[in-house]
A and B are shown apart, each in its own frame.
Chain A
Amino acid sequence: MTPTSLFPAATAAELTIATPEGVLFRLPLAGPASRLYAMLLDAVIVLGAVNGVGFLVYWIFSKAPGFGFMMITLAEFAIGFAYSALLEGFWNGQTVGKRLFHLRVVDQSGLPLRLEQAWVRNLMRVLDALPFAYLVGGLSVLSSPLMQRFGDRVAGTLVMRQAPLPEPSEEFWMGQKYNSFVDYPAIAIKLRKAATPELASLIQDALRRRNQLAPYARREIHREITAYLQTEISQFPDELVERLSDEQYLINASGILFNRQRHSK
């Protein structure tokens, strides 16, 4: 069977997968809103396809409109199910709408879904779409830790978010030319020894998000972290600290924490 064990994540927005090699990774789950948009887009496409088929059928059966109507009714019904099932099954879990909204259907174990799963989850739409506008399915998504509608629960699938990720660039403050903390090697080493990884990542986060913060919040947060570092971790001389802004202090500290080779020269 599938070579994985599952640990449903504590938060609603992601699922943690443990591979047989002992690697853990998280899959971000898609919420109901983006799925609804993708579904509406798909519905428009299906409607277009059905109308296209309809014109063709009317043309072929122009002498027998009743049979034309029969063909169209049945084709519409079949295309409604087959569109999603076949695309998801053969196009790696994506319909056109899902692709545009960066969604993908996968197996609960993080592997691609199989054709029968795609059919099951799409045939179950007759239940999820009840009583109108996917109310049953929407409630199911909101009440499920893995954001599954009933079709997903039965088929053992889930919908994940998959927005394109650029390769992370180097942090902008890493390349700074001069770091005044390097002039005080003893205190700098003390800072490196005493700082926990959590504290280091807190400093990084504070710097990384500085442009997203309101000016007041930005000043306050940087002031608080600087005060904490200065009093509890490693005290740099006052005459140096007075010349630095709190933000510059954190940039310097981050340089000491993360840039070993430049510092140790």
Chain B
Amino acid sequence: MILDLERFQAQARPRWRDLESLLAVLENRPDRRLNPAEAEQLQALYAQTAADLNRVTHGALSPELRQYLERLVARSYSELYYAPPMRSEIWQPRRWLRIFTAFPETFRQHARYFLLALLITLLGCTFGGLAVHYDPASVDVLLPADYLRNPGQRVHEEEQGEPKHPRSAQIEAGFSAQLIKHNIQIALLTAALGVTFGIGTAILLFENGLLLGAVAVHYTQQGFGLFMTAWLLPHGVFEIPSILIAGQAGFYLARLLLRRQQDRDVRQSMREWLVLICGLAMMLVWAGLMEAFFSQHHAPVLPYGFKVAVAAGELVLLTIYLLMIGRKATDATGSSTVGSANQ
């Protein structure tokens, strides 16, 4: 049976207009909450308009009318089924401060991905270290920058050059910002490469480890082990773990994508991924400040023993933070999720 389009439109137009004006009101309301009367009216108009859309679709009539009704239905559908976050939920500083406990909790919850990242990096370290140890010529291939290849010259420049060019805090500040930006970009890329099922993440981690192992062995062979430790560790104890956490986030993402069907709460997983990223970004801000303001000062100014001690202190604090903070909270949420699952 062919629809009498003219009569149909004339009859239905008033309710389409009602729906349109109701939607305009709701969409412009900042919190997008419905009161009961509006909800009832929206539900009724939505049902009628959906029925109208069905009639038009099955009659294969007027594409403009069909598009128009589809738009109306889509808009009402999202108003009816979407629960927007409460404004008060968003602007609570306490909720934002919770990131400081949520980060170590999430880190521990997905510790196995961290261990995987650590394993791959260590593999890279071993490979790089062994290569330089048994074939010193491979340094030219493995280490791209000139200053990494010639430790003697570098150490000399660093130790002697300092009084001639007093580093101003100004230059260091700019340097730290660039370091922070660059490191966060690399870390984000490592985490984002989880979409390659973790392969890209693994390659970046391995390469990072390779470089680290090669530099460590090369400098130690030349007798600059202490210099290197004091030079790299004050920021490295934050920088290296944060890249490992980026690897953790990448592998976690890979698992999410591989098992998306089984995952019931994608939203929660996404939040955890974001918490990891946020946490590692904070770590990299600290690492960047340390690298620019502290690590670059050498022996006469800052004794190597002091620098190594500071690095050790940082490492202990970081370990305590990542392993201990929020333990009780984890147990509490653990039991509460069990409770809600039983309901």
Contacts and interface: CB of A to CB of B under 8 A. Distances in A.
Interface of A: 1-4, 17, 19, 21, 23-27, 64-67, 69-74, 77, 92, 106, 110-112, 114-117, 119-120, 123-124, 126-127, 130, 150, 153-156, 162, 165, 167-168, 170-171, 174, 192, 195, 197-198, 200-201, 204-205, 257-261
B2 A19 contact: no
A19 to B, nearest CB: 6
28 contacts: A19-B73, A19-B77, A23-B73, A26-B70, A64-B173, A69-B173, A69-B177, A70-B176, A73-B181, A92-B27, A110-B77, A112-B78, A114-B85, A123-B188, A123-B277, A124-B192, A150-B192, A153-B195, A154-B195, A154-B256, A165-B64, A200-B59, A200-B60, A201-B59, A201-B61, A201-B62, A258-B3, A258-B6
Contact of B257 (A154, A171, A197): A154
B173 A258 contact: no
Contact of B195 (A23, A150, A192, A200): A150
Contacts of A170: 6, 9
Nearest to A126: B188
A126 B192 contact: yes
A227 to B, nearest CB: 21
A112 B73 contact: no
Give the most central of A126, A155, A156: most B CB within 10 Å: A126
Contacts of A119: 274
A160 B245 CA distance: 34
Interface of B: 2-7, 9, 13, 16-17, 20, 27, 47, 50, 53-54, 57-65, 67-68, 70-71, 73-74, 77-78, 81-82, 84-85, 90, 168-174, 176-178, 180-181, 184-185, 188-189, 192-193, 195, 253, 256-257, 264-267, 270-271, 273-274, 277
B170 A120 contact: no
Contacts of A120: 270, 273-274
Nearest to B74: A25
Contacts of B271: 116
Contact of B81 (A3, A25, A71, A201): A3
Nearest to B67: A165
A158 to B, nearest CB: 13
Contact of A195 (B2, B47, B193, B266): B2
The 5 closest A-B pairs by CB, nearest first: A66-B170, A73-B177, A70-B177, A127-B192, A23-B50
Nearest to B10: A170
Contacts of A21: 47, 50
Contacts of A204: 61-62
Nearest to A202: B60
A17 B71 CA distance: 12
Contact of A156 (B9, B53, B253, B266): B266
A1 to B, nearest CB: 7
B73 A25 contact: yes
Given A114-B267, A201-B59, A66 B172 contact: yes
Nearest to B2: A200
